[in-house]
């Protein structure tokens, strides 16, 4: 059990016999009295979002999950298959459970799969992923510094803002937490 004030975004909590992923945490302090913590939670069983208000003195149970490194290998409809490199065991994970990490699914990229009682409950992408730019505006000579960013679509469908010198076919490094451009890895 941990104090509700120590709950952070991304944690998994066990409440009322169910597992919940913490989507957001809001701390609200009133002039007098207790501080209130509002939790936005996603039920890992059925995907429902709920909000829960708690006083700062209350405690919650953190679910301990096993994190197993697995490599993405292929998809079939809304199921994405990952393989454990040590045991060669393959597990399917539904698109809903993957969330925004779907934008980083590339063959042979290693993810951490969170397991609870042997069942997948979360997917954690690597800190950065290299992706190819498949669509962007062409480079314009003489473009001013004020127009230093432009939109780009990457091979997985992710849309990001990139510097003006990035061209279609370039490989760029993306921060998976902020969904932002970091650097160009390879020119076209």
Instruction: Enumerate the domain spans of the chain.
Output: 2-62, 66-124, 128-186
Is domain 128-186 annotated with CATH 2.60.40.10? no
pLDDT band at residue 182 using 50, 70 and 90 as cut-offs: very high
Q: Which two tokens stand for residue 101?
A: 């990490």
% pLDDT > 90, the chain: 34
CATH of domain 2-62: 2.30.30.30
pLDDT band at residue 147 using 50, 70 and 90 as cut-offs: low
Asked whether 41 and 21 are in contact (CB, 8 A), the reply is yes
Q: Do domains 66-124 and 128-186 have the same CATH topology?
A: yes
C-alpha 51/C-alpha 29 separation (Å) is: 18
Question: CB-based contacts of 92: which residues, under 8 Å, 6+ apart?
Answer: 76, 79, 80, 81
pLDDT the model gives residue 174: 92
CATH of domain 66-124: 2.40.50.140
Evaluate if residue 48 carries a pLDDT over 80.
yes
Q: Which residue shows structure tokens 């925004």? A: 100
pLDDT the model gives residue 181: 92
pLDDT band at residue 133 using 50, 70 and 90 as cut-offs: very high
Evaluate if residue 82 carries a pLDDT over 90.
yes
Evaluate if residue 142 carries a pLDDT over 70.
no
Mean pLDDT score, 20-32 = 82
Q: Which two tokens stand for residue 25?
A: 């945490």
């Amino acid at each position: 059990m941990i104090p509700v004030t120590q709950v952070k975004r991304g944690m998994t909590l066990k409440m009322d016999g169910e597992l919940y992923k913490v989507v957001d945490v809001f701390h609200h302090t009133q002039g007098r009295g207790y501080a209130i913590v509002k939790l936005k939670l996603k039920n890992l069983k059925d995907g429902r979002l709920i909000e829960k208000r708690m006083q700062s003195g209350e405690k919650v149970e953190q679910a301990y999950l096993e994190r197993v490194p697995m490599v993405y290998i292929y998809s079939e409809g809304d199921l994405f298959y990952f393989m454990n490199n040590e045991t060669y065991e393959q597990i399917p994970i539904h698109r809903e459970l993957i969330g925004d990490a779907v934008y980083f699914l590339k063959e042979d990229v290693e993810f951490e799969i969170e397991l609870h009682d042997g069942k997948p409950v979360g997917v954690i992408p690597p800190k950065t992923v290299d992706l190819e730019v498949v669509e962007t505006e062409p480079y314009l000579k003489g473009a001013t510094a004020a127009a230093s960013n432009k939109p780009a679509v990457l091979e997985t469908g992710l849309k990001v803002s990139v510097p003006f010198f990035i061209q279609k076919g370039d490989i760029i490094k993306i921060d998976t937490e902020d969904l932002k451009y970091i650097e160009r890895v390879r020119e076209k």
